[in-house]
Amino acid sequence: MNRPDEGPGTMGLPSAAWLALLDEARAVSRAALERMHALSDRFPIDVPNALLGQLQRDHANPQRERRIGTRIQMPEVVATVFVLGDPVLTLAARVVEQSPGGLALLLDRPLCAGSVLLVRTPSAGTRELARVEVRHCRPADAGFLAGCLLLRAEAA
């Protein structure tokens, strides 16, 4: 049985130690955000305002964002999507967001959660191919927005 100052959310630490650890983590987070502001002032092209804005929102309300990596909204990039199956279905799509662990695709038709896709985007004279899994798909203004988990990148 847990002592009154311990609980499942405290990783076995006494409450005072847990709260001190959280305060220290918040201070580190605040310092990192301040550093990002300084870098943005010095290198505005390399630290996009959209990224900085998202970091500020996530810092202000960390419960709002559940992703491991920060999403980066980007100018829409045209992509070719191959829905793996029998037969393989080929679709046109647009990549509207990226993160280290996934991407968001804007499609003209819905896809089922669990579908595995190969996504090809032309970039910098090379062709990139990513294997992703559709985690969710919902109607959007201009079609359907599919949130995808990156399984692995492959050479085309």
Centre a 10 Å sphere on the Cβ of residue 61 and count the other Cβ atoms it contains.
9
- pLDDT tens, per residue, the chain with 156 residues: 444 444 556 677 788 888 888 889 888 888 888 888 888 888 877 777 777 787 787 778 777 666 666 666 667 788 889 999 877 789 999 998 888 888 899 999 999 999 999 998 776 345 668 899 999 999 998 899 999 999 976 555
Of 47, 64, 81, the residue at which a domain comes to its end is: 64
Q: What is the pLDDT of residue 134?
A: 96
Return the CATH number at 112: 2.40.10.220
Whether residue 1 lies inside any domain: the answer is: no
Q: What is the pLDDT of residue 124?
A: 37
Cα–Cα distance measured from residue 113 to residue 102, given in angstroms and rounded to the nearest whole number: 14
Cα–Cα distance measured from residue 48 to residue 73, given in angstroms and rounded to the nearest whole number: 10
Residues 52 and 118 in one domain: no
Residues 120 and 51 in one domain: no
Going by C-beta distance under 8 Å and a sequence separation of 6 or more, which residues neighbour residue 16?
A: 5
Name the pTM for this structure. Answer: 0.61
Whether residue 21 lies inside any domain: the answer is: yes
Task: Print the domain residue range for 86.
Answer: 72-155
